[in-house]
Amino acid sequence: RGHGRTRAVLPGQIGVLPSPVTLRQSIIVPTYNERDNVPALLERLAAALPHEDTEIVFVDDSTDGTPEVIAASLAGFPIAVTVHHREQGEGGLGGAVVEGMRIARGEWIVVMDADLQHPPEIVPDLIAAGLRDGADLVVGSRYARGGDTGGLADGYRKLVSRGSTLLVKTLFRNSLLSVSDPMSGLFAIRASSLDTGRLRPLGYKILLELIVRNRPGRIVEVPYGFQARHAGESKSTAAEGIRFLKHLAGLRIGPARLRLLAFALIGVSGLLPNQAVLWALTSFTEMHYTAAAVVANMIAVGWNFALTDTLLYRNHRRRGPASRFSRFFLVGNADLLLRIPLLALLVSGLSLGVLAGNLLTLLASFVVRFLISEKLIYRA
C-alpha cells in the first residue's frame, strides 16, 4: 500500500502538494479499470464544478492503465487532480474511498463512481443542499421523489437493489430513518463530521458504514436519476454479495459476537460426525463405549478444525498449519479427560443411553473450548 503513487496537484501538473490547504470540495472517485470512462468523467466534472477551491482525488486499483489515461487528460485541465494508485489494492471499493477521504482536503467530501452512472452535474446540488439545510451528510438518492433507478441493467438488479435496501432499513431502523437510499454510492459529507478511524469498510457499501459508525448529525437527500454505465462492465460480483452480508452482520452484531455465533454453529455441526461415529462403533464393533467416544471425538475435532480454520479465522492466523492443528487437536481432545469420566458416570452410574450421555458431556465442553480458542489458539 502506498507504493507507486503519482500525484497531479496543480491543474495539469504533476508534483508534490505545496502545503496543507483547505478547499471547498474534494471529489473522491474510486477506479478499478475505468480507462474508457475517466476522460468523459473529467470533462463533465470540469463543466459542472467551480475550478478554484475544488480537487478531484482518484483512488485507483486498476491494471488497465487508468492512471496513465487520467494523466494524459490533464494537459490544460482546470481543476487540481490527485491520482493515488495502489499496487496492492486492498479493501476493495470501500477501502479505496476511505483512503481517498484521508488524503482529501475539502470541507466537503463527495464520493462518486467513475462510470458516469452518477451524473457529475448533480455534485453542486449536493453541496448546495448541505449548506442550505445545515446538513452533515447529503445522500444522492435514487429512491427519493424525483429520483429513479433507470440505469440499473435489468429487472433482476432492480429487485436485488430494492430487496437489499429494505433489509438494510429494517436492520438499522434508527440510523436510517431519513435515508431512502442507504446503498447509494453517491454522497457528500462534511469533513468535520467524518471520523475515518472508526470506519471498517468491507466491500461496496461505504455509505452504510459511514452512517452506522460515524453517526453524522443531520442527513438530507437529493434525488437523482441513476444512469446506464458509460463504458466497460460493473466490477460487482457474486463474491461481493457475500461480502455485503458479512458487512451487514459485522455492523449489526459486531465481530466478536459474530464469531461466537459462527463458532457455536460449527461446534454444533461437529455433533453429527461425533454421534454418528459413536453410534457406528458401539453398534457394529465390540469396542467399549468409552473408547468409542474417544475415537468419535478425534474425528469430530478434525472436522471442527477444518471448518474453524478456513471459515472463521482465515484472516487471523498467526501460526503455521501444523502448529494450529496440533494445538486445536490437543485442546479439542483435552476435554476427554473430563468427558470420559462424566460419560461413565452418566451411562454406567445413571443408566443413561450412550448417545444421550455423549451429547450432554459435549454440550458442557463447548463453552469452555470457545474461550480457549479465542484466547490461546488465535488472537481474534
Residues that bind ligand GDD (CB under 6 A): 30-32, 34, 59-61, 89, 92-93, 96, 113-115, 117, 161, 183, 185, 204, 234-236
Judged by beta carbon distances under 5 to 8 A according to partner kind, the member of Mn ion, ligand GDD, none in contact with residue 336 is: none
> Shortest distance, CB of residue 29 to ligand GDD, whole angstroms?
6
Residue (117 or 308) nearer to Mn ion, CB = 117
Residue (6 or 161) nearer to ligand GDD, CB = 161
Residue nearest ligand GDD, CB atom distance: 185
Grid cell, residue 335, equals: 476435554
Judged by beta carbon distances under 5 to 8 A according to partner kind, the member of ligand GDD, Mn ion, none in contact with residue 178 is: none
> Shortest distance, CB of residue 65 to ligand GDD, whole angstroms?
14
Q: Give me the amino acid identity at 347.
A: V
Residue (117 or 373) nearer to Mn ion, CB = 117
> Shortest distance, CB of residue 43 to ligand GDD, whole angstroms?
16
Question: Are 195 and 153 contacting, i.e. CB atoms less than 8 angstroms apart?
Answer: no
> Shortest distance, CB of residue 185 to ligand GDD, whole angstroms?
2
Judged by beta carbon distances under 5 to 8 A according to partner kind, the member of Mn ion, ligand GDD, none in contact with residue 114 is: ligand GDD
Q: In degrees, to the nearest 5, what angle opens at C-alpha 340 toward C-alphas 334 and 345?
A: 145
Query: What sign does the CA torsion over 311, 209, 22, 41 have?
Result: positive
Residue (89 or 151) nearer to Mn ion, CB = 151
Question: Are 7 and 82 contacting, i.e. CB atoms less than 8 angstroms apart?
Answer: yes
CA dihedral 95, 99, 100, 101 (to 10 degrees): 100
Residue (130 or 147) nearer to ligand GDD, CB = 147
163: Cβ–Cβ under 8 A, 6 or more apart, which residues? Answer: none
Judged by beta carbon distances under 5 to 8 A according to partner kind, the member of Mn ion, ligand GDD, none in contact with residue 297 is: none
Task: Give the span between the Cα atoms of 113 and 197, in whole angstroms.
Answer: 23
Judged by beta carbon distances under 5 to 8 A according to partner kind, the member of ligand GDD, Mn ion, none in contact with residue 89 is: ligand GDD
**Residue 270 — φ and ψ, nearest 5°?**
-70, -20
**Residue 76 — φ and ψ, nearest 5°?**
75, 5
> Shortest distance, CB of residue 225 to Mn ion, whole angstroms?
14
CA dihedral 309, 311, 312, 317 (to 10 degrees): 50
> Shortest distance, CB of residue 118 to ligand GDD, whole angstroms?
7
Residue (59 or 79) nearer to ligand GDD, CB = 59
Alpha helices (H) along the chain: 38-48, 66-72, 92-103, 123-133, 155-171, 206-214, 238-253, 255-284, 289-307, 321-334, 336-344, 354-372
> Shortest distance, CB of residue 317 to ligand GDD, whole angstroms?
23
Question: Are 165 and 182 contacting, i.e. CB atoms less than 8 angstroms apart?
Answer: yes
Judged by beta carbon distances under 5 to 8 A according to partner kind, the member of Mn ion, ligand GDD, none in contact with residue 185 is: ligand GDD
Binding site for Mn ion (CB under 5 A): 115, 117
Grid cell, residue 294, equals: 474417544
Residue (30 or 216) nearer to Mn ion, CB = 30
Judged by beta carbon distances under 5 to 8 A according to partner kind, the member of Mn ion, ligand GDD, none in contact with residue 120 is: none
Question: Are 169 and 246 contacting, i.e. CB atoms less than 8 angstroms apart?
Answer: no
Residue (111 or 336) nearer to ligand GDD, CB = 111
Helix (H) / strand (E) containing 30: strand 23-31
Question: Are 141 and 222 contacting, i.e. CB atoms less than 8 angstroms apart?
Answer: yes
Judged by beta carbon distances under 5 to 8 A according to partner kind, the member of ligand GDD, Mn ion, none in contact with residue 34 is: ligand GDD
> Shortest distance, CB of residue 1 to ligand GDD, whole angstroms?
12
Judged by beta carbon distances under 5 to 8 A according to partner kind, the member of ligand GDD, Mn ion, none in contact with residue 274 is: none
Residue (63 or 174) nearer to ligand GDD, CB = 63
> Shortest distance, CB of residue 48 to Mn ion, whole angstroms?
19
What is the SS3 assignment for 23?
strand
Question: Are 167 and 125 contacting, i.e. CB atoms less than 8 angstroms apart?
Answer: no
Q: Give me the amino acid identity at 26.
A: S
